[in-house]
């Protein structure tokens, strides 16, 4: 349960209530009725309205910002790995920080930087 006054962002409209998705709002009350599917009463200042909303339709603003920061950081690392031809860093980022041995080439063969770029471009093309 989120605390009263918490700033949240509407991320979904599960029950098709014409919620303003992407807008921020503030939790102003809990809906304590056990027979109701809604968890919160949300005040959206831009719409100048209150909405009954389930827990699944809202997300903390800090969580969304952190997810976006992680995505941008990952993209920047991929761009850096490609620009510097750092194959190890690229594989570690793409595999989720796990280095796996190559299955396409023998264990003693290493790729030249040109072959590595060619393989990345081929996979990006597909």
In this predicted model, what pLDDT tens digit does every residue of 74-125 receive, in sequence order?
Answer: 999 999 999 998 888 888 988 876 544 444 444 446 778 888 888 887 777 6
First-to-last alpha carbon distance for the chain, in angstroms, is 44
32-81: pLDDT as tens digits: 888 888 989 999 999 999 999 998 999 998 998 999 999 999 999 999 99
What's 17's domain CATH number? 2.30.30.40
| Domain limits for position 47 | 7-61
Q: Which residues pair with 42 in a beta bridge?
A: 27, 51
What the block records as the tokens of 110 is 């290493």
94 within domain boundaries: yes
So what's the pLDDT on residue 107?
Answer: 46
Count of structural domains within the chain: 2
Cite the beta strand spans of the chain per DSSP E.
7-10, 24-30, 40-44, 49-53, 58-60
Residue 52 and residue 13 share a domain: yes
Do residues 54 and 41 make contact, with C-beta atoms less than 8 angstroms apart? no
Residue 56 and residue 24 share a domain: yes
103 within domain boundaries: yes
What the block records as the tokens of 100 is 């796996």
Residue 12 and residue 44 share a domain: yes
Do residues 60 and 8 make contact, with C-beta atoms less than 8 angstroms apart? yes
């Amino acid at each position: 349960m989120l605390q009263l006054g918490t700033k949240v962002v509407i991320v979904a409209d599960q029950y098709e209530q014409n919620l303003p998705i992407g807008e921020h709002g503030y939790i102003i009350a809990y809906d304590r009725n056990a027979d109701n599917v809604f968890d919160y009463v949300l005040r959206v200042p831009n719409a100048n309205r209150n909405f009954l909303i389930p827990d699944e339709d809202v997300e903390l603003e800090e969580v969304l910002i952190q997810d976006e920061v992680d995505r941008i950081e990952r993209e920047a690392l991929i761009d850096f790995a490609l620009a510097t031809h750092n194959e190890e860093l690229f594989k570690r980022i793409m595999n989720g920080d796990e280095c796996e041995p190559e299955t396409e080439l023998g264990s003693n063969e290493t790729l030249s930087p040109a072959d590595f770029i060619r393989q990345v471009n081929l996979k990006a093309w597909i």
